[in-house]
Chain A
Amino acid sequence: MSELLGTQAKAPGLSERWGPVALYLLKRLLSGALVLLAGTAAVFFTIQAAPGDPALSALGEQATPEAIAAFRAEYGLDAPLMVQYVRWLLGFFQGDLGQSLAVARGMPVGALVLQKLPATVFVGFFALFLAVVLSLVLGTLAALNRGKATDTIATSIAVFGVSMPDFWMSYVLIFGLSLGLGLFPAFGYVAPSTSLTGALHATFLPALAIAAPMAAVFARTLRAVLIETLSKPYVTAAKSFGLRRPFILVHFVLRNAMVPYLTVVGLQIRYILGGVVVVERIFGIPGIGSLMVDGAFARDYNVLQACTVVFLAIVLLVNVAVDMICALLDPKQTVK
């Protein structure tokens, strides 16, 4: 039977499986680190070349030329750009991301980022979770009932979802579920460490606003992949062996559909993080997205740099994680 079932063929030994995976992981992380480094350089020199001055944001309207000069000297902004970047890099390798210039003047940026990161990660994961659950339900229902009314309804929901940009969705949700029905707060954040249910309640609307378009994309992918998998010979074979439908669905179909599905999920992380920026602002969530917007507008170079590192690292890690999961689900496809 296992031969008939294609991808379910004899699994290689654990060490055989992990060897190439570990090597691949190492390679990915290394090249990721290089991308990260290049990213910091690109952002550093671009923002310095752009107009604007953190001293004006930090010192405000009444700043005298002397005050501005003192500010620049205090934070080393008077040194040549190359020197500033090398200083930043040296600090970075020692885990020092510098001081905030104009968002929380003088505060260590590392601490600032650590303070903001949990909210973003929480909302991001909540959104991802909602998107995955919604899409699994919609996508599976649509694929199993292909061509029937259920399919049409599920597909329509997905299409409408993808036609609702997150910021517009935010307002629809605020208007309907918050101001209208009073089910969820329209504003504010509760840390999960304070109260997990409180956090889930407070961040449900922002998470849903980010999740809705993503869920639509995921569901459409899943539907297409499932339809393809369902017609594979091993599924037909499994059916002919008299295995029960739910068993087939979980063990053969969904499992094999996971690889392309997760790949798409990985690709969408860019959009999720982008959505976080706008949605954090609308719902007043004190996360890294709000921090980056403040940093960009105030020209807080150090904060911008740090946020860049964080976002690049998240994208990198998520993609590596997706690759790993795919590799474990489908060892044959592992190393290209």
Chain B
Amino acid sequence: MTNQISRRRVLQGITALPFAGSLSLSARAALAQSTTMTAAITGYSVINSLDPAKASLIPEFYVIWGVFNGLMKFDDEMNVVPDLAETVTALDGGGYEFKLKSGVKFHDGSELTAEDVKFTFDRVMDKETASPNAGKLGKVSKVEVVDPLTVRILTEGSYAPLLTFLTNARTGTQIISKAAFEAMGAEAFSRAPVGTGAWKVSDWRAGEGLTLSAHPDYFEGKPGFETVEVPLIAEEASGVTALQGGQIDMTSTAPAADVSMLMQDSKIQVLRQPGLNTRFISINLKKAPFDDIHFRRAVSMAFQREAMVQAVIFGEGVPAQGVIPPQLPAYYSTEPRAYMKFDPAAAKAEMAKSKYKPEEVEVGVITWSGGWWKRFAEIFVAQVNQTLGTKFKVEVTDANTAYARQKSGDFEAGVWGWLGMVDPDEYVGDLLTSTGWRNFQGYSNPEVDQLAAQGLAETDPAKRPEYYKKAEAIAMDEVALIPCFCSNIHNLLRADLEGFVQKPYSNFADQFRSMKLS
């Protein structure tokens, strides 16, 4: 106990001290004028494109959210509400009619019209664009301009997630300026994009960061800050030191290890909540030994998910027993699942039914060398080996290779997970149906496919969750993959910065407009 106390004191000392003496020049630059905020994207060093149709990486979206608007957006309670749209009306044959807000201005001063909306969506759907986000509009058959401020999106049959996929989230359907795009060309547009958002990209230094300046004609009012500097800080831990040293004002993420310590720090606000993500072990069902259902069940019951949450992300998360995270409450299933919890006796019994002998199979669990992802695989392997006597081993590689191997089916197992998926179809549909693009496991069950298709078409919010819950239960009973945990998302802000409302998909630049120093 004494140890605990003294340790905490030491740690407080460490965090408190930097303020005593930090007098870095950049710190002064950031603080001197309250017209500039420095909001760092931490844990990433690469932004390739700020064109919504081409964007795919989280840091790209972090910025896009401030530069563009979608037709829809998530409000603070995560309801889908109009953004650029004034009203939304469902059409009988499937699809919606959108009345646009009038007088919305792009950064170049031109006004938003239905033509821009049509151009944006047509471009995302165009095969030539090869947009990684085309799937979001996969069921859209046609986009029609009715009048300059009215646009219709028609779908083949009813398509429940459409409005969700039109929000200003990780969707790629943010509205761009047709005239500006055609004048600039795709290449230039991707670096100096023209949207309706509160921020213009005034400078972009590859691998270093960018500068956003306020869009004075923003339709919801001019932002509080004149300028936001957005540096890219590759190491999350460096982001913490930079914040403590006053070089930056906020971060996009936080290292899980430091969270409890930072919460004691009066100079720093820690925003955190369970995130929209599921971390799981992806397993190759087309290969030995995970082609055997008993082997899968045995492995899934052979490790403690709670201990994993503690050891890997320092308690900053919750154990998972399915693919849909608790932050989608309507779809989240609290039904206990037999094979999704630690039970060494049952695990051994299942293993006995398997056609493989635990000591005879060699399984490589692919991970990459980025911090906790490595420890995630490490603790999984160690626990499973301990419980079952298997010969699993960790295979650390780099993220690119890990992804390439999963995609090509050249793997037995690997750690995996996505952040920021907002519709249940992005979990059940993408991960568990036989045509899902993230279904690297090769899992296929016609019943699950059927249920997911019904869920996709069901527009009644009361009925829709049932399809996904059922589909998920079937897939988890067959252990289509091994869910492990959902992690919290974090933002760190200096204590006197206010106006940032955190959302579970991990939002960022969309909040800058309403932020100010208290």
Contact = CB atoms under 8 A, between A and B. Distances in A.
A202 B25 contact: yes
Interface residues of A, number: 56
Given A67-B130, A67-B131, A284 B233 contact: yes
A185 B46 contact: no
A202 B24 contact: yes
Contacts of B235: 281-282, 284
A116 to B, nearest CB: 7
B48 interface: yes
A198 interface: yes
B247 A187 contact: yes
Nearest to A59: B132
Residue among A104, A190, A202, A284 having the largest count of chain B Cβ atoms under 10 Å: A284
Interface stretch (A50-58, A141-149, A268-276, A320-328): A50-58
A298 B130 contact: no
Nearest to A103: B46
A56 B132 contact: no
Residue among A56, A181, A183, A188 having the largest count of chain B Cβ atoms under 10 Å: A188
A286 interface: yes
B252 to A, nearest CB: 15
A202 B23 CA distance: 11
Interface in B29-50: 45-49
Residue among A63, A100, A104 having the largest count of chain B Cβ atoms under 10 Å: A104
A330 interface: no
Contacts of B407: 56
A185 B247 contact: yes
A115 B23 CA distance: 27
A63 B48 CA distance: 14
Interface stretch (B13-21, B262-270, B322-330, B446-454): B13-21
Contact of B245 (A60, A180, A187, A282): A187
Contacts of B241: 174, 178-179, 186-187
Interface stretch (B292-300, B394-402, B457-465, B509-517): B394-402
B400 A104 contact: no
Contacts of A179: 14, 17-18, 241, 244
Given A61-B56, A61-B438, A298 B132 contact: no
Interface stretch (A29-37, A105-113, A161-169): A105-113
Contacts of B400: 52-53, 56-57, 297-299
Contacts of A281: 234-235
Interface stretch (B63-71, B203-211, B333-341, B483-491): B203-211
Contacts of A66: 127, 130
B445 interface: no
A70 B130 CA distance: 7
Interface string A181-202: 1111111101000010110011
Residue among A198, A286, A294 having the largest count of chain B Cβ atoms under 10 Å: A286
Nearest to A180: B17
B134 interface: yes
A307 to B, nearest CB: 12
Interface string A60-77: 111110110111000000
Nearest to B206: A104
B498 interface: no
Contacts of A106: 48-49, 187, 190-191
A284 B241 CA distance: 11
Interface string B124-167: 00011011111100000000000000000000000000000000
A127 B482 CA distance: 49
A310 to B, nearest CB: 15
A212 to B, nearest CB: 20
Contacts of B20: 182
A291 interface: yes
Given A112-B206, A178-B18, A58 B27 contact: no
A178 B18 CA distance: 7
A202 B242 contact: no
B110 interface: no
Nearest to B368: A297
A102 interface: yes
B205 A115 contact: yes
Nearest to B403: A56
* Those 3 A-B pairs whose CB atoms lie nearest each other, nearest first: A182-B21, A60-B56, A104-B206
Interface of A: 51-53, 56-64, 66-67, 69-71, 100, 102-107, 112, 115-116, 174, 178-188, 190, 195, 197-198, 201-202, 281-284, 286, 290-291, 294, 297-299
Given A182-B21, A294-B207, 8 more contacts: A52-B400, A52-B401, A60-B56, A60-B132, A61-B132, A62-B135, A64-B132, A182-B22
9 contacts: A56-B404, A102-B48, A105-B49, A115-B205, A185-B26, A186-B238, A186-B242, A201-B24, A286-B208
Interface of B: 14, 17-27, 45-49, 56-57, 127-128, 130-135, 187, 190-191, 205-208, 233-235, 238, 241-242, 244-245, 247, 398-401, 403-405, 407, 418, 437-438
